Structure formats: C-alpha cells, structure tokens
C-alpha cells in the first residue's frame, strides 16, 4: 500500500495499492501531454490574424472588416 495526501477529500490521507497509483498517474500524465500537444499545435498555427489579440479580431468582425486592409 502507498499513502498519499488529498487536499479535497476527507480523510486527507489516502491509501491505495502501488499498481493502482501507477496506473492513475500514467493516465493523468497522458491526458496532460495530449492537451499540451493540442494547445501547442493551435498556438503555432498561423492565420492572417497572427499578430492580433482577440479584442482586435472582435472589433474587426463587428466593424464589417475581415482582416488587414491593403488599400
């Protein structure tokens, strides 16, 4: 058995079997790594608005303009 602390659930000290804890931690690590990779891909994707903030994009949308003007 392995003991660990939980900050959310009472009683705060929990005990689980070592293989169960290893499985839980591996699953959690995989979830966060997949989330990080998806977020990285989204951030690295270039669009015509790559230098704009969300506020700027909304302002352009509501003004009827779709992007940088080239006139």
pLDDT digits 0-9 by tens, 1-52: 667 676 666 766 777 777 776 776 666 666 666 666 666 655 555 555 555 5
Comparing CA positions, the residue from 48, 47, 44, 46 lying closest to residue 36 is: 44
Quote the pLDDT of residue 13.
74
| Structural domain of 49 | 2-63
Structural domain count of the chain: 1
Tokens of 12: 């705060």
* Domain-embedded: residue 69: no
* Domain-embedded: residue 68: no
* Domain-embedded: residue 47: yes
* Domain-embedded: residue 54: yes
């Amino acid at each position: 058995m392995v003991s660990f602390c939980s900050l959310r659930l009472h009683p705060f000290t929990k005990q689980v079997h070592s293989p169960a804890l290893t499985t839980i931690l591996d699953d959690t690590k995989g979830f966060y790594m997949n989330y990080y990779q998806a977020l990285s891909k989204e951030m690295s994707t270039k669009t015509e608005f790559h230098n704009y903030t969300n506020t700027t994009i909304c302002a352009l949308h509501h003004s009827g303009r779709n992007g940088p003007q080239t006139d």
